[in-house]
């Protein structure tokens, strides 16, 4: 993972309220408890190794299956965003394909 992407994950974790009191493991960057999320954040798209806020007009609520409480929203991405994601994946694939298995783990 690139430095920019890892910084983005740290930023996303902080947006999700990364702190011991919220149950987010700062080393993993995700929630480790089922505590209520007061203001669930929007999950950004990940395009060209960068987190990008979606221009979507509709969002899908993502709920914790254990509590049925909303933890975030994910965008119903626009056609343009989907094409950007495909283009980004196609651009990244040759380097990923050339990476040895031990480095992918």
Per-residue pLDDT at 105:
83
Per-residue pLDDT at 93:
95
pLDDT tens, 22-80? 555 555 566 778 888 888 889 999 998 899 999 999 999 999 998 999 999 999 999 99
Cα gap 20→17, rounded to integer Å: 9
User: Could you tell me the two tokens for 31?
Assistant: 């929630």
Residue 8: pLDDT band by 50, 70, 90 thresholds? low
pLDDT reading at 14 higher than 50: yes
Averaged pLDDT, 76-90? 95
Beta-carbon contacts of residue 1 (< 8 Å; ≥ 6 apart):
9
Residue 19: pLDDT band by 50, 70, 90 thresholds? very low
In order of 2, 25, 77, the CA distances from 41 in angstroms are: 24, 17, 16
**How is the chain split into domains, by residue range?**
3-104
Per-residue pLDDT at 5:
56
21 vs 57 pLDDT, higher one: 57
């Amino acid at each position: 993972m690139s430095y920019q992407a890892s910084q983005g994950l740290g930023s996303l974790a902080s947006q999700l309220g990364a702190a011991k009191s919220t149950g987010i493991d700062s080393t993993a960057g995700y929630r480790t408890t089922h505590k209520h999320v007061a203001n669930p954040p929007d999950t950004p798209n990940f395009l060209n190794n960068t987190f990008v806020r979606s221009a979507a007009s509709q969002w899908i609520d993502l709920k914790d299956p254990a509590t049925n409480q909303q933890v975030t929203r994910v965008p119903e991405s626009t056609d343009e965003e989907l094409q950007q994601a495909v283009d980004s994946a196609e651009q990244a694939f040759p380097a990923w394909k050339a990476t040895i298995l031990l480095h992918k783990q």
